[in-house]
Structure 1
Amino acid sequence: MRLLTVTIALLLITATAPAQAGFFDTFKRLLTSESADTGAPPDENTTIAALREALTVGTRNAVHNVARVDGYLGNEWIKIVLPERVQRLADMAAAVGFQEQVDHLVVTMNRAAETAAPAAADLFVTAIGEMTFEDARGILEGGETSATDFFRRKTTTRLYAAFKPVVTTSMEQVGVARAYKEVVAPLSSVPMLQTEGLDLDHYVTNEALDGLFLMVAEEERKIRSDPAARVTDLLRRVFGQ
């Protein structure tokens, strides 16, 4: 539900943003029209190189934003909260004096995600390097999050494999298991509140990836609409100042 809400919010932001030509509008013209200066078809390699560079900038920004301290914890859009069935226990535990333990559990889950996030940078670069001309066309002719969708398809499995061990190690180091037990122990004997079988490492890894892709989608919005995002020599050369 949180992911759906944030996704809708992003779409609303995009829909109400000032109408201005962005990277993706220019890319579409390069792909579908002839050059106004030379009358020649656009250079395919240059077009893909510029798109790759734009996406490299966007994904690098997204990773930087989540990998820093409070990158997850301090961002209400992507902050990792307790699973619903644990939250019920946590609320009851907090009511009987265990609020500090509940807060510690939430902090440690988010710190684990922040620790794992840097691993995404190289995987995004790899996916961008593997991008074909057809991939580029699909991104340009697709929806508002077509680049993010491309990264989801190309990197989710590899990201999960890279994130999960780091999340597990980090959660062990900061005592997530201990904090979790401190939260659920006071009430775990209540039959309706059993949480056996819950894999917190798996849960935090998936939540971390969802949050990362939300930030990639936000960077995609900037790439599409903000001329100020032309921050490299290649992008300035292809698209102007």
Structure 2
Amino acid sequence: MRKLKIVCMACLFVFAAGCTASEVNRFIQGATEASLTEQDVGDGLKEALVKGIVTGSDRASQVDGFFANELIRIALPEDVQRVESTLRRLGLGAEVDRVLLTINRGAEAAAKEAKPLFVDAIRQLTVQDAWELLNGGEDAATRYLQGKTSEKLTGLFAPHIEEALDEVGATRYYGDLVSAYNTFPTTSRKLDPDLQGYVTEQAISGLFVLIAQEEKAIRENPAERTTALLRRVFAAQDN
């Protein structure tokens, strides 16, 4: 209450001095930013990241959440891409298409399980450089989170990817495709039948893309700041 009175008195003073409305807004914003603590900023960034992963996971876990989104659609493993034309010439085109669809379906299914894993990782973050992240680039907090949590998240997320790939048949279809290719007499370079590690890496990368999009929206669009803390913290980087 005392702080509010001080701000109000200051506003009256600057109005009396002939300041414009925009100048008064900047003055009030300065007072708001000055009152932010590192804890406020850290909590605000965590809240933004939680919002991002909740939104991102929900989008990614829908049917075609990965497959129809060119930004995060999981391509065939690099080894398979190199011989894709050969596989199709050998009459394995339908198998190639089925693998491509099912690995994305597996990522979509696993994304449903990603939310609590990511949120838990976010909650445990200690943001020492909170002000730097707040005033960083449009995806500064996402990149920070990615650097700090990717290894742990990979270990946590991998079993869910394995289960999802098995459930939609991706593991079997990919194994059949690789075996069919590897058995051709003209095949000089064998394909690696391991799929889990590749899809895990690509799925996590895709989720971070969606988190970064949400962070960018929160930074640029005040309407995306759906809580008082988000509005207060990210208003400080608008100036």
SS of 1:134's equivalent in the other structure is coil
2:108 is aligned with 1:79: no
SS of 1:63's equivalent in the other structure is helix
Partner of 2:117: 123
After TM superposition, the structure 1 = structure 2 runs for residues 125-144 of structure 1, keeping only pairs within 5 Å, are 125-144=119-138
Partner of 2:207: 212
What is the total number of aligned residue pairs between the two structures?
Answer: 207
Partner of 1:59: 53
Partner of 2:222: 227
2:192 is aligned with 1:192: no
Partner of 1:20: none
Question: Comparing 80-89 with 118-127, which one deviates more in the overlay?
Answer: 118-127
Identical columns (%): 38
Tell me the CA shift for residue 44 of structure 1.
4.2
Instruction: Give yes or no for contact 1:66–1:117 (8 Å, CA) kept in 2.
Output: yes
Tell me the CA shift for residue 222 of structure 1.
1.0
Aligned residue identity for 1:213: F
Aligned residue identity for 1:204: V
Partner of 1:26: none
Query: What do the CA deviations read for 1:31-87 (whole angstroms, capped 9, x no partner)?
Result: xx9964589643444443333322221221112111222111111111111112212
Relative to the length of structure 2, the TM-score reads: 0.74
Task: Name stretches of at least 5 consecutive residues in structure 1 with no aligned partner.
Answer: 1-32
Question: Structure 1 residues 46 and 172, CA, compared in 2 at 3 Å: closer, same or farther?
Answer: closer
Instruction: Give yes or no for contact 1:112–1:166 (8 Å, CA) kept in 2.
Output: no
Partner of 2:107: 113
Question: Structure 1 residues 179 and 90, CA, compared in 2 at 3 Å: closer, same or farther?
Answer: farther
Aligned residue identity for 2:109: T
Instruction: Give yes or no for contact 1:98–1:183 (8 Å, CA) kept in 2.
Output: yes
2:141 is aligned with 1:166: no
Find 1:203's aligned residue among 185, 198, 203.
198
Tell me the CA shift for residue 108 of structure 1.
1.1
Relative to the length of structure 1, the TM-score reads: 0.73
